[in-house]
Each structure stands twice: as structure tokens, then as C-alpha cells.
Amino acid sequence: MANVPEMFGSMVFNDKTMKERLPKATYKALQKTIQNGDPLDINVANIVANAMKDWAIEKGCTHFTHWFQPMTGVTAEKHDSFINPTDDGNVIMEFSGKELIKGEPDASSFPSGGIRATFEARGYTAWDPTSYAFVKDGSLYIPTAFCSYTGEVLDKKTPLLRSMERISTEAVRILKLFGKDDVTRVTTTVGPEQEYFLVDKELYDQRKDLIFTGRTLFGAKAPKGQELDDHYFGAIKTRVAKFMADLDSELWSLGIYAKTKHNEVAPSQHELAPIFTTTNLATDHNELTMEIMKKVAERHGLVCLLHEKPFAGVNGSGKHNNWSISTNTGENLLDPGKEPAKNTQFLLFLAAIIKGVDEYQDLLRVSVASAGNDHRLGANEAPPAIISMFLGDELQGVLDAIEKGVPYEGTEKTKMQMGVDVLPDFMKDTTDRNRTSPFAFTGNKFEFRMLGSSLNISCPNIMLNTIVAEELQQFADELSKASDFDTAVMELIRKTIKEHKRIIFNGNNYADEWVVEAEKRGLYNLKTLPEAMARYVDKKNIELFAKHNVYTEKETYARCEIQLENYSKTINIEALTMLDMAKKDILPAVTAYVSELTDTALAKKSLSADIPTDVETKLVSDLSQKLVCFSKKIEELENTLIAAAEYEDDAQKYAEFYCNEVFAKMQELRAIGDDMETETASEYWPYPTYGDLLFSV
């Protein structure tokens, strides 16, 4: 094994490299930009660019690319070489400050939600110096933000950076009221736990559904699934272990803090968790992690599936967004300390989050919506589509006491005794986990568990940061007017708990009773993407984003539109893929099997009328009836797709049609297909089965 500290970040133009390679004055100027957002002087940029280029060339680079996160759901890059012609017909390798700071990619083919017409092709990418440049596949990658010629934001990074600014400003105001004048900046931190599946590449290549849509559209359940719980935290198989080791090395060299790896609940499902970092970096790193997972898998003859629901009947994949807020002085603002009841500052931040999550439940649901994630939310494997918060016994006790205006008695920490002398005793954690909660307090951070595995984490974090910034602003406005700060804070906390405690739920979120109870409490239950999107453009939400300069009204509408369009297109592709599989593969395969059975029966009869042909006859009859049904369902799905065209001009109605009509027909077609699979001889079935896919690695 390579020397990890030595290889860690070796492909990153990070602080250490900057210190080594930049003149002192340049380094200092760049640090001021990184830390305080000061504009970068072009002369400084020129020196930085040149140093970056020399370093990148030593790492084998010939090209550079601005790397950005448009609304496609994947990252984008366009590579330019460093070459510059000289008078004598040769070339030299050059990279200017201008090229580092600004790019002008043609933006016409990226989704803009109707913000720009195609003829306004120009877009800008602008260097984000808070995220380090890195080297990958022979190119120098420069993380950038992406906007249109007229300044509308076309990416996920810009609003994230804006939301981080907002929460910082308001949190600093609050901390000033607590006398913390030394805090000048507050950042949100995130550690995203990433789930994924690994399947054999040879089997994958035989499945059009996996190739075109990332999930199986047909497939009968295997005799064994996850019912024995024998995969979760199970011993990692050699082939997977090799993949994981390779992945870790690649991630470490890119400066990504890959920390934990283990098998997940479903067969062939795994998880990787990094150590948390600033939200902006965590987002870039998570995008890179997903990309590298796919690339490394290929090297091992595997395919990494990041879809939220690749297989029916076993767990889908999610991403847990562990989120906290910390100061530039190193304080985690969500750390309750030893005595939460006396930690007014912590309780005030907690109150702001409770109020924010309650008032903007709909936005949090919107932030995790995707066609893929609709399969998970509400199924008994992921948190339901209802947003609620879990705080744990101790905090709940503190809040109850505050609400009632009585002193907090406290819960004694108990010693866990293992009853075996050689094992150490340890203190029991008072914040027992509630694994079913969508938004759980886990000691010194919140864990937002509704994200789908393929999601870019910027969206939920934009929403979270903005919501909490709004509440902190309200609190700071109110408290800065108070004559008696201590009394005013406690009163504000008490009032907030009273008004918003409906969002707190400590019970089992998977239980049916919760759905009923949540409705009584007036909480949203937005089951599908179209339902959620209708809330995106609610007046209060548009106002929130506009007020905090995160999205203009136009940009909010555009984002909503992009989501709706993407949803309809995704289901359309799935429906077309199903039809292709059904008509070209499944129908002919079952027909051929029926024909063989018929031939066998006829041959037997021609030998002697006494030979029984009951088995063949029954199967032929049964499968023939199913084939009729199957072909009827094919026709129905085709007709439904044609009918969809009527709603094409209204993104919301179009998506609703795909959700309610097209998807329903797909399910019906699948049911018969899967049923026929269970009766058709293996040699005739055109695809690797669930058993093959889930248990072959």
C-alpha cells in the first residue's frame, strides 16, 4: 500500500502546493480572496495561473478545463490545450490569468428552464477559488460557477455559495449578540454518506433497461433477497474489496476524505462515507466521488449503479446529508455541550432550525425530488415523504422543560456494562438514533436522510442554508431590539418550540399511524415529484429565495420547470425502453418457448396418443393467455404515450400525466412480464435475472 499521507491530495493544487509554488505576496492575495471573497487582481491571477500550469504539466497534463455543475444533474467540462503558437511555427505551453478566471462555453444546450432562447448562446464560467483545482485524466480541472450572458444563474454552485454567504452573515449577527465578536465567518459543513450497487459488467451489458435508464424495468424477484439481513455490514468479498481499495486511492489522491466503507442492506449494495468538510467542497467532492466510483468499477469489470431504485423488492439507495454549522474560530454551533439545558446559544440555533424545517417542509421535500427518488420515499426502507424532525430523549426533555417553564431535571448518563471483564465499559450515548426519521439530530449535527443516491447535494443544502438564514435573520432582528437579552432569548426559544413542535416526531416514521397523525398535525405529505413541484413556486417560497438573493423569481420558476421536464423525460425514456424490451425481446422469447412446447406436445402425440402432454398443454395455454394480456398492455402503454402529447405545453400537467397515467401503465406491463419470467425456461429468457445480477459479484 502506498504511503497515504504522501499520496493524499497529490493531484490537488491545495494550500500546501500553493504555499510551495506561489510567491509569498501572491499567496497572501489569493488567501484574502479565498477567505474573505475579495476580488482577485488580474496580475495575481496571471501568476497563479502560470504556477498551476507548471504544476499540472509536471503531473502529465496537456489541457485545462473549467468544471461546472449545470442543471443536467451531471458535471460538465470542455477541454482546451495549453498550446500557443510561436512565430517560428512551434508551440509553447501557456495559461493566463484570464483563462483561469473566466470561460465562455456555449451555453445554448444546457437546461435553463426557459430563461434563455437558444440563439443567446453565450454563457460564462467563473473560477471558484474556494474549491481547489485538481488534475484528472491529463487535464487541469478548475471548479467554476456557471451563468448566462445576462447574469441568470444556470448552475448549482452559484446559489449554494450565495446561501452559504447568507447563513454566515445572519449567524455572525446572532453570535455578536452572545458577545462573540471574534467570529467573522460561519460555514455550513456536510458529510454525505453515499450508497451504491455494484453489478457485473457482462450482465449489465445484456440489459437495455440498465443501460438506458439505470434501473431494471422488468425482473421477477429472486428466491433470496435481503430477508436474512446477511449482507448489512457483512464481510466484504474480495472483488468488491479490491474495487473499494482502488476507489479509496483515487479519492485520496484527489484530496477527498474517504473514510468509511461497508456493505449495505440489499445484496450487492454498499456505502462510502467521507469525513465532513465545508458544504461547497463536500458538494464538489461528492460529484467527483460518484464519477470516480463509476470509472473505477469499469476497471474491475463492474458497473456502479447510482440510481435510487435499481431493483424492485430490495432496498434502493440514498444519501445521508449530515449537516452542521461552525465558526471560523472552530466552534460547532450544533454541539449541545455537556449541559444543553444551559446552552442558550445552542438552543437558539436549534430553535431556528426547528422553525425553519416546519415553515419550509415543502421546500425540503422539493429539494430531494427526482423521478428515481419517488420510488424510495414512502417505501419501507427510506424515510417517508412527510418531513419531520427527531431530537432524541435528552433534547426532547430539555425542550419540554423550557416549554413548560420548569427546570430541566436531566437524564442520567448510564454506563453500558458489557458483563465481560476484558471489554471496556463505556457511557451510553443519550441521543439514541431513530433510523426512520427523515431529519434527525445525531449528537452534534442534523442528518437529512431523504436524499436520493444520485442527487447533487447542492440543492438540499441551498434550501437548508437559506431557510435557516431566514430564521436567524428574524431572530437577530428581534433580539437586537430587546432591552433584556437573556430574558428575550429564553422567551423566543419557548415561543418557537410552542409554535413549531408539530414538526417534531420521535416515533416510527414507517408506521401507517404516522401518516394519519401527520395529517392531523397539518404536515405535508407530498408523495410524488409533480406534487412537490407545485409547492416550489408557492408565494412564500419565491419570496424567501428572492429576499435572500439566492434565486430571482424567474430563476425559481426556471428551476421548477427544469425539474418537471426532467421528470417527464425520464419516465418517457423508461416507457420507450420497456416497449422496446417487451416487443423485441420478451414477446418473441416467450412465443418461441410456447412454440417449442407445442412442438413437443405434437411430437409426443404423433408417437402415441397415450403419452401424456398435460404439462406442455397447461403451460402453452397459460403462457398464451398471458401473451395476449401482455400485448394488450403494450398497446395501452403506447396509446398512453400518444395521449401525453396533449399536455406537452404545460410542464406541470405533463409531469402529472406521466406520474398518474404513463407510470401506472408501465407497472401493469411489468407485472405480466415478471409473471411470464417465472414460467419461462431460463434458456429462453432474454435477460440476466435478478438472481444473476444481485448475487454474481
Q: Which window, 21-29, 273-281, 459-467, 670-678, contacts ligand ADP (CB under 6 A)?
A: 273-281
Which residue among 309, 320, 500, 633 contacts Mg ion (CB under 5 A)?
320
Site string for ligand ADP, 43-82 (x = CB under 6 A): ----------------------------------------
- Beta strand 318-327 pairing with 186-200: antiparallel
> Of 322, 465, 556, 680, which lies in the binding site for ligand ADP, with binding defined by CB under 6 A?
322
Number of amino acids touching ligand ADP (CB under 6 A): 14
Which partner in ligand ADP, Mg ion, none is near 275 (CB below 5 to 8 A by kind)?
ligand ADP
CB atoms within 10 A of CB 686: 18
Instruction: Name residues contacting ligand ADP, limited to 454-513 (CB under 6 A).
Output: none
β-pair type (439-441, 389-390): parallel
Distance of CA 333 to the CA centre of its chain: 24
Question: How would you classify the pairing of strands 139-148 and 389-390?
Answer: unpaired
273 binds ligand ADP (CB under 6 A): yes
Minimal distance, residue 683 CB to Mg ion, in Å: 44
Among 72, 332, 552, 600, binds ligand ADP (CB under 6 A): 332
Of 193 and 250, CB closest to Mg ion: 193
Residues 167/188, Cβ–Cβ less than 8 Å: yes
Piece of the chain touching ligand ADP by CB under 6 A; list 52-60, 145-153, 184-192, 339-347: 184-192
Contacts of Mg ion in 188-207 (CB under 5 A):
193
| Interacting residues with ligand ADP between 189 and 248 (CB under 6 A) | 189-191, 193
Quick one: 235 exposed, middle or buried, by C-beta within 10 A (0-12, 13-18, 19+)?
A: exposed
Which CB sits closer to ligand ADP, 214 or 316?
316
**Which residues, including other chains, have CB under 8 Å from residue 644's CB and lie 6 or more apart?**
568, 572, 654, 657, 658, 661, 662
Site string for ligand ADP, 436-455 (x = CB under 6 A): --------xx----------
SS3 assignment, position 304 = strand
**Which one of the spans 48-56, 271-279, 385-393, 676-684 is the region binding ligand ADP (CB under 6 A)?**
271-279
Residue 273 binding result from Mg ion, ligand ADP, none, given CB thresholds of 5 to 8 Å by partner type: ligand ADP
Q: Which is nearer to ligand ADP, 274 or 383 (CB)?
A: 274
Cα maximum dimension of the chain: 105
Other CB atoms within a 10 A radius of the CB of residue 255 amount to 19
Residue 324 partner contact from Mg ion, ligand ADP, none using kind-dependent CB cut-offs of 5 to 8 Å: ligand ADP
Judged by beta carbon, residue 166 or residue 445, the one nearer ligand ADP is: 445
Burial class (CB in 10 A: 0-12, 13-18, 19+), 498: exposed
Report the SS3 class of residue 53. helix
Q: Does 275 sit near ligand ADP (CB under 6 A)?
A: yes
Q: Other C-beta atoms within 10 Å of 164: how many?
A: 23
Q: What are the phi and psi torsion angles at 145 (to 5°)?
A: -100, 155
CB-hemisphere CA count at 13 Å for 624?
Answer: 11
Question: What is residue 383's DSSP assignment?
Answer: -
**Is the CB of 335 or the CB of 478 nearer to ligand ADP?**
335
- Number of C-beta neighbours around residue 357 at 10 A: 25
SS3 353: helix
CB-nearest residue to Mg ion? 320
Which stretch in 188-196, 592-600, 623-631, 660-668 sits in contact with ligand ADP by CB under 6 A?
188-196
Distances (CA, A) of 584 to 546, 587, 629: 51, 7, 16
| Interacting residues with ligand ADP (CB under 6 A) | 189-191, 193, 273-276, 322-324, 332, 444-445
| Interacting residues with Mg ion (CB under 5 A) | 193, 320
